[in-house]
Structure 1
Amino acid sequence: MKLERGLEAVRKLAGLTSAIIRRGGLTLLDDSFIKVVDDRNTTIVYIGPDVDGKQIVRLRREGGADVLYTYTHPNGNQFWALTDRANRILASDDAVAGVGLARPWLAVPMHKLFTGPPGVHQYATVDASAISTEKQLWEGRIPLVSHPRIELYGVWGQASGANNTTFRLLVNGTQVGTWSVNGALQNTTQGPFDMTAFIEQPNVQVSLMARASGTGEVAAGLLGCWQRQSP
């Protein structure tokens, strides 16, 4: 009897060294966890609660660099992230909006719908008198909206003369953002503007509208437009 008890104690200390489950499954209750540790004592796989009691999944490479993990944003929402060897996020969902992607940002190609004075400036311009009533200056298409925000970069405002301009960004005909340039020329990013309502919609139109007052040329030099994450 003493020998049997001794062998049982050894088995308990050794733990489970191999197991096969043919049918059914394995259920862990009450914040239990699964952890895989390599021969260098690095945790390679972890599924269970983090230090704050939030359930997470973490997958690491040999050596400990992350591959995939779920993380809790300060707002309480969780997101997943796929990373490279330097732990830079390559792809993730948006924890703020709760829908769509956060990374990578995706470009929205835009096309100029107006003709301005040739060869005068290194950016697109239009005569203020041509947009004294609002006109569409740029248009693009998003094959499938995948991000909750949209952002632009360009050269805006007074290229010559004295003019003031109001720009409006429309997504499928709905205004998502607007800004005004009262005089001085500026190179700025506009946005990010919320387009959460269009997530998963196909063939979405993006339009940049403008209306100006005054004289001379208006800078309408759109240099970039992209889908991006929530700020």
Structure 2
Amino acid sequence: MIPSDQRPPGEDWLVRRLVDLERQVRELQAGRRLEAATVGGGGLTIKGGTVTIRDDGALIIKDGDQSLIWLGKVPFGDGSTKPGLVAFRRTDDGGRAAMSLFDGIWAVWDRGGNIVMSTDEASGQGIARPWLPVTWAGSDFTQWPGTTSGSFASVCETAVPRQQPQLFVRVRHTTDVSGTTGELRLMCNGDQLGATASVGFVVNVTDFGPVPLPVGSFGEVLGLSVDCRRTAGTGVVRAMVTASWTQQS
């Protein structure tokens, strides 16, 4: 007699088995997979395919609890969420955004949360920040501004918004009569930047900087001036700024 555990199953067993397999296939096809998943140290490799994120989803790269890169629906400063990309600074570096892309507007941010570089979306072309100055100056020293004052008086002045921490200024200077001497200095909101330069009866060039700008708020307008004074003689002490710019530390 054949033992019971070795007997072939009846026909109904095969039917039940097929029905059960069909049910499992339908469940797998209709099921939502990878609702939550973790990929270990081996990583995830996609060859020749794409990763699609739908329905207001986002891709977030983290280091511990800190978000480093956020792509997709990203929280915006006004409390809303918009499609975009943000790269964040580390927590020990302020934790604020370092680079962002919202509604086609690309921007780079400093540690204080200020935009230091961005595209100009209003016009549709070029950059919004930084502003790049182009300096022109006269070559005829007899036409340069000057003074005969024995105390410092402004002969050139301008204004610049604070966007970078240092300033460079090139000044050409001379007196217009032999035996006349003088001095000049660079001023910013009442503070002298760099050393005092000597002026004589010869056309010379003095470079100031790069010198640190006085401490202040980002974006504030700074008043700059070149001040001159006569120290001897009867002629005029003259000066002309031929180049200037702000720059990084």
TM-score when normalising by structure 1: 0.50
Determine the structure 2 residue equivalent to 1:146: 162
Shift of 1:61: 8.7
1:81 aligns with 2:117: yes
Which of 126, 129, 135 lines up with 2:152 in the alignment?
135
CA RMSD of aligned residues (A): 5.2
Show the counterpart of 2:42: none
The one-letter amino acid paired with 1:81 is: M
Q: Unmatched 5+ residue regions in structure 2?
A: 1-23, 36-49, 73-82, 90-94, 135-139
Check conservation: 2:168, 2:245, Cα contact below 8 A: yes
Q: Deviations over 1:90-133 (max 9, x none)?
A: 31xxxxxxxxxxx32579xxxxxxxxxxx98232344xxx44x3
Q: Which runs of 5+ in 1 are unaligned?
A: 21-25, 37-43, 92-102, 108-118
Following the alignment from structure 2 to structure 1, what is the Cα–Cα distance between the partners of residues 188 and 51? Answer: 63
Partners of 1:140 and 1:222 in 2: how far apart?
Answer: 10
Say if 2:159 is the partner of 1:121. no
Identify if the C-alpha distance between structure 1 residues 222 and 182 changes in structure 2 by more than 3 Å, giving closer, same or farther: closer
Equivalenced residues, count: 182
State the AA in 2 paired with 1:90.
A
**Which structure would you say has the larger Rg?**
2
One of 30, 34, 38 as aligned partner of 1:7:
30
- The reply on whether 1:169 has 2:211 as its aligned counterpart is no
- Tell me the amino acid that sits aligned with residue 217 of structure 1: G
**C-alpha distance in structure 2 between counterparts of 1:193 and 1:134, whole Å:** 24
- CA distance in 2 between counterparts of 1:220 and 1:157 reads 5
Does the aligned pair in 2 maintain the 1:105–1:228 contact within 8 Å?
A: no
Change (3 A) 1:187 1:216: farther
Distance (whole Å) between structure 1 residues aligned to residue 28 and residue 154 of structure 2: 85
SS at match of 1:199: coil
Q: Structure 1 residue 59 and structure 2 residue 101: aligned?
A: yes
Is the 1:146–1:199 Cα contact (8 Å) retained in structure 2? yes
Contact 1:156 1:220 (C-alpha < 8 Å) held by counterparts: yes
Point out the structure with the larger strand share.
1
Mapped contact 2:87–2:100 kept (Cα < 8 A):
no
Using CA pairs under 8 Å that are at least 6 residues apart, name the structure with larger relative contact order, 1 or 2.
1
CA contact (8 A) 2:172 2:242 kept: no
TM-score of the aligned structures, taking structure 2 as reference length: 0.47
Contact (CA 8 Å) 2:155, 2:228: kept in 1 or not? Answer: no
